[in-house]
Structure 1
């Protein structure tokens, strides 16, 4: 039986990646482990496309749908430009729910300069919550294309913002009353407001101008799974330092309350970057000039079987999360 969340890598190889239809002559990059977008050759420019559903949230679902898909496109160095969306509503849904979702998509698209160009809406029997599936298209000059599998042994790993950012915002919204009783209104409101930082479009476009080898948006499974996905894509291992991965107070407290691992909590809003060591400080400085915090948390290593986290001076394997911690709560 398959677990909730992303399909395990071995099942993707067994069932999905050997059933991808015809080979596209202009496809520069397509589906694979750790690769969240496709790149298609359009001559001097490259079209980058990505699709993702939003299934673990109800509040702010339109906002998440647009921004999560924009993030995946931006990790290829492309500016998000065109969005298609399918909105599946549960039986009995009121007009106001559809209006709320579309308002969130519209406002988010305006903020990023994205045009909503198509999609589908329906009421779907059997659903308990709405599901929104988005597809984002973006464009980048060919010589600025960055692919998810471009990390090299010796590259440093840079992470922007904080681990578990998106998951913290979702849990604070979905379990608001319970958390307010435990931690008070101020902390819960701060946690909810983290949704405003979910975009990594600026993080990515700034970084690619400085010079990086790969970027990745750690969604389901959080920073831990994101590290494995980047390493999978490049055929590498990694070594990271737990104390260098920044985690906000709100995330620590909420994860502690529910017994969750913040490193395996959905982390849209963070950007993971593989950068040549000589470019690391330039990347971090460029990000900080735009008020985006970032830090070096480790490095990629040649042995793909060695994937370590250093805690209190001791190295131990960092396991791949079986599913996202969010599913234990919502």
Structure 2
């Protein structure tokens, strides 16, 4: 495809004809010659925007779920999605079709309408880049700075699951002779746990704050929650769930799973009195969950390992960038 905006006929063929039908509250949706969208919003509007730059495969999938997670952690139900797709000069129509099909399929799974965006071939790129913006409605807003001293920290799923899936896909050729195709299939399948919507729908009823730890993993996510609320924290390393696939990859590649990108995990600050019952409810819905620590009024931020309290290190960059 040639550099620049897609011609109207290609836009219709490869993008517009593949998008889900209009969803709730859509007044003006996507179309040729339409540069914006108009929406009827009933609750509190919550919005978030994120690019997908660390993966080259399934980037349409990532774009929808990463952005949906960002509004879900504020107590909102994702409703509307806008996306900008930038393609390298040598991209073919099949690549764009694959990205749009992924976006459409995952948006429909979540009940999200794709209401606008932009698609073009951009000079200077060596890979496609997808930038997403998700809008949602919240009946009860969960503020990211709402954690309180004494709150229990609940964590769902397993540390580093997104990073595990990305590494298994991106380094498959290198790792297959060593770890085997069956192992890499299991590791890459963890991408199916990327959405935090199921647990967010349960937790938003009781949470003081929620956060999905992306770059920098679980530890950076804890620091970000503490930053927002001006608190410290104490967490217990042995309570942080980690999949065997993640442990194996991290051991082989000399990575720390607690600093590995962890979309799919939800960190939640919950009043101590509700914590145990909340974990039981999550488990009853088949969602792995643990109480991993608590927020502190004092500034110290520590991790307890082998009964020894140590300062909780803060990743300067994600462990993923060491290998991908």
TM-score by length of 1: 0.85
* Separation (CA, whole Å) in 2 of partners of 1:158 and 1:134: 28
**Cα deviation code 1:32-65 (max 9, x no counterpart):** xxxxxxxxxx997200000001100011100000
* Separation (CA, whole Å) in 2 of partners of 1:250 and 1:123: 37
Q: Which residue of 1 aligns with 2:220?
A: 225
> Structure 2 residue aligned with 1:128, among 123, 126, 129?
126
1:76 partnered with 2:70 = no
The Cα of 1:179 is off from its aligned counterpart by 1.7
TM-score by length of 2: 0.86
1:85 partnered with 2:83 = yes
> Structure 2 residue aligned with 1:300, among 285, 295, 298?
295
Q: Which residue of 2 aligns with 1:189?
A: 185
Paired residues of 2:42 and 2:137 also in contact (CA < 8 A): no
For structure 2, the 5+ residue unaligned runs are 1-39
Structure 1 residues 43 and 124: CA distance shift in structure 2, 3 A: closer
1:173 partnered with 2:169 = yes
Q: Which residue of 1 aligns with 2:9?
A: none
Paired residues of 2:161 and 2:191 also in contact (CA < 8 A): yes
Paired residues of 2:231 and 2:297 also in contact (CA < 8 A): yes
Structure 1 residues 314 and 49: CA distance shift in structure 2, 3 A: same
- Correspondences of 1:95-106 after superposition (within 5 Å): 95-106=93-104
Q: Which residue of 1 aligns with 2:3?
A: none
* Separation (CA, whole Å) in 2 of partners of 1:174 and 1:191: 12
Paired residues of 2:77 and 2:138 also in contact (CA < 8 A): yes
Q: Which residue of 1 aligns with 2:318?
A: 324
Paired residues of 1:207 and 1:286 also in contact (CA < 8 A): no
Q: Which residue of 1 aligns with 2:6?
A: none
* Separation (CA, whole Å) in 2 of partners of 1:186 and 1:298: 35
Paired residues of 2:283 and 2:289 also in contact (CA < 8 A): yes
- What's the secondary structure of 1:169's corresponding residue? helix
The Cα of 1:186 is off from its aligned counterpart by 1.6
* Separation (CA, whole Å) in 2 of partners of 1:84 and 1:283: 33
**Cα deviation code 1:100-156 (max 9, x no counterpart):** 111110110010000000001111111111111100000011xx1111110000001
1:253 partnered with 2:251 = no
* Separation (CA, whole Å) in 1 of partners of 2:252 and 2:104: 35
Paired residues of 1:212 and 1:279 also in contact (CA < 8 A): no
For structure 1, the 5+ residue unaligned runs are 1-41
1:314 partnered with 2:312 = no
- Further displaced range: 283-292 or 264-273: 283-292
- What's the secondary structure of 1:71's corresponding residue? helix
* Separation (CA, whole Å) in 1 of partners of 2:219 and 2:126: 30
- What's the secondary structure of 1:322's corresponding residue? coil
The Cα of 1:71 is off from its aligned counterpart by 0.3
* Separation (CA, whole Å) in 2 of partners of 1:255 and 1:268: 17
* Separation (CA, whole Å) in 2 of partners of 1:218 and 1:250: 19
Structure 1 residues 246 and 64: CA distance shift in structure 2, 3 A: same
What is the total number of aligned residue pairs between the two structures?
285
* Separation (CA, whole Å) in 2 of partners of 1:313 and 1:268: 28
> Structure 1 residue aligned with 2:141, among 137, 145, 169?
145
* Separation (CA, whole Å) in 1 of partners of 2:127 and 2:309: 42
* Separation (CA, whole Å) in 1 of partners of 2:288 and 2:86: 36
CA RMSD of aligned residues (A): 1.2
**Cα deviation code 1:217-249 (max 9, x no counterpart):** 100001011000000000000000001000000
